[in-house]
Amino acid sequence: MLKNTIKGLEGYAGAYGLITKLKLWKYFGVPILISFVIAALIAVAAYGWSDNLGAYMAKIWVWDFGKDTFTSIVNFVAGIIILALGLILYKHIIMALSAPFMSPVSEKIEAYLTGNTYSPRKGTFNSQLMRGIRINFRNLGMELLLTLPILLLKFVPVVNIFSTFLLFLVQAYYAGFGNMDYTLERHYNYQNSLQFVRQRRGLAIGNGIGFMLLLLIPVVGVILVLPLSVTAASKVTVDALQAEKSTDVV
């Protein structure tokens, strides 16, 4: 899986140049706007709710001794929880709503890389939107199911260090998953796409790591995260599809 993770990250090499070469920037206007709006709404919510959540969590400590220390800890943990849940919602909302705009981008990249201008499956705007919502709603549920137990580990000394890394990998996997599906939707139905990504988890994680790291860049990250991550995912997914076809022929 490590090899595929590295491949997923390598997809970002030359992504900016490829977007420019194929004149794809015009497709990212609406998704970037969606990204900005959703990021702003989640940031406002996180700022307003973190103190309230921390105060609520602090009530479980009924003793006077160590209360200030415990309150400081739970306020920090509350911030992490809000941030983690905010990132989860941000990822899946923007990827679902951007599906009709990202699918043409992926299609043009695939045509360029393979030399084949024929698209095996061309969905309508509505069908691509519904596919994006279905995939990301499913991934949202799975990610929350995995994330909530990991967040509880934040209360365990030492273990909480590893839980942060694990939480990052889970977030990365589902971010990469969503980006890869913009290409897969032309080749596979819903179930087969899930199986394809499961068999190549490393590619999804590698792409998602780039996605998450881009979001660490203030303002610019929100602008570039979709263009670069979708382009990178399209490149590695097309390569994986081509490799699978070659294996089937053999």
Mean pLDDT for the stretch of residues 212-229: 91
CA distance 139 to 62: 38
For residue 155, pLDDT over 90 is answered with no
- Tabulate helix, strand, coil % of the chain (nearest 5): 85, 0, 15
Cα separation of 38 and 30, whole Å?
12
| 248 assigned to some structural domain | no
Confidence of residue 123 (pLDDT cuts 50, 70, 90): low
Q: Is residue 23 a part of any domain in this protein?
A: yes
| Residue closest to 91 by CA, chosen among 155, 139, 48 | 139
What pLDDT does 1 receive? 81
* 87 Cβ contact partners less than 8 Å away, ≥ 6 residues apart: 171, 212, 215
Residue 25 lies in a domain: yes
142, burial (CB in 10 Å: exposed 0-12, middle 13-18, buried 19+): middle
Count of the separate structural domains present in the chain: 1
Residue 122 has pLDDT above 90, yes or no: no
The model's pLDDT over 65-92, given as tens digits with 9 standing for 90+, comes to 777 777 777 777 777 777 778 888 889 9
Residue 90's closest CA among 4, 178, 190? 178
> Does 246 reside within a domain?
no
Q: Within a domain: residue 35?
A: yes
pLDDT band per the 50, 70, 90 thresholds, residue 175: very high
Query: Which of the pair, 97 or 245, is modelled with greater confidence?
Result: 97
Q: Assess contact for 21 and 231: CB atoms under 8 A.
A: no
Q: Is residue 20 part of a domain?
A: yes
Q: Residue 184 sits in which domain range?
A: 2-238
Q: Does residue 52 lie within any of the structural domains? A: yes
31-64 pLDDT tens trace: 999 988 988 888 887 777 766 777 777 777 767 7
Residue 25 confidence class, pLDDT cut points 50, 70, 90: very high
Q: Is residue 220 part of a domain?
A: yes
Tell me what pLDDT residue 129 has: 86
Short-list 157, 200, 193, 192, CA closest to 69: 157
| Model confidence pLDDT, tens digit, residues 125-152 | 788 888 889 999 999 999 989 988 887 8
